[in-house]
């Protein structure tokens, strides 16, 4: 587990319900998972390596999203990317 990772973003924990700004539109994080896809959420303006995918997970089953947290939520502080399962639980994170 990466050092300094918030407890609520540990692999296997449910992601917090935050609002994101994605392509100049406000959207709830949970809304991104409505179609049953995994979500790779990048929270940085620069592209980072993807969190590790399980070897059985096909890339076409992953929705790529680049966004920013709306408001002063510290839920994703220090996180550059997170891979979220369709059931709204964290699979893996990238710090930075």
Q: Which tokens go with 5? A: 């990772």
Q: Which tokens go with 22? A: 């994605």
Q: Is the separation of the CB atoms in 18 and 33 below 8 Å?
A: no
Kindly report whether the global pTM for this prediction surpasses the value 0.75: yes
Number of domains in the chain: 1
The verdict on residue 1 lying in a domain is: no
Grouped pLDDT means (10 residues each) for the chain, 96 residues: 50 84 93 89 68 79 90 78 90 80
What CATH code is carried by the domain that includes residue 89? 3.40.30.120
The per-residue pLDDT for 43 is: 86
The per-residue pLDDT for 7 is: 52
The Cα-based distances of 43 to 32, 55, 56, 83, 96 in angstroms read 14, 24, 25, 11, 10
The verdict on residue 65 lying in a domain is: yes
CB neighbour class for 39 (10 Å; exposed up to 12, middle 13-18, buried from 19) = buried
The verdict on residue 2 lying in a domain is: no
Give the CB-side neighbour count of residue 77, counting CA atoms within 13 A: 9
Q: Which domain holds residue 69?
A: 7-95
């Amino acid at each position: 587990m990466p050092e300094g990772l918030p407890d609520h973003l540990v692999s296997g924990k449910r992601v917090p319900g935050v609002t994101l700004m994605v392509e100049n539109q406000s959207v709830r994080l949970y809304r991104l998972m409505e179609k049953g896809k995994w979500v790779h959420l990048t929270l940085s303006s620069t592209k980072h390596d993807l969190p590790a995918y399980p070897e059985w997970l096909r890339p076409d089953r992953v929705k790529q999203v680049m966004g920013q947290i709306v408001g002063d939520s510290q839920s994703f502080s220090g996180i550059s990317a997170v891979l979220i399962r369709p059931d709204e639980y964290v699979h893996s994170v990238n710090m930075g």
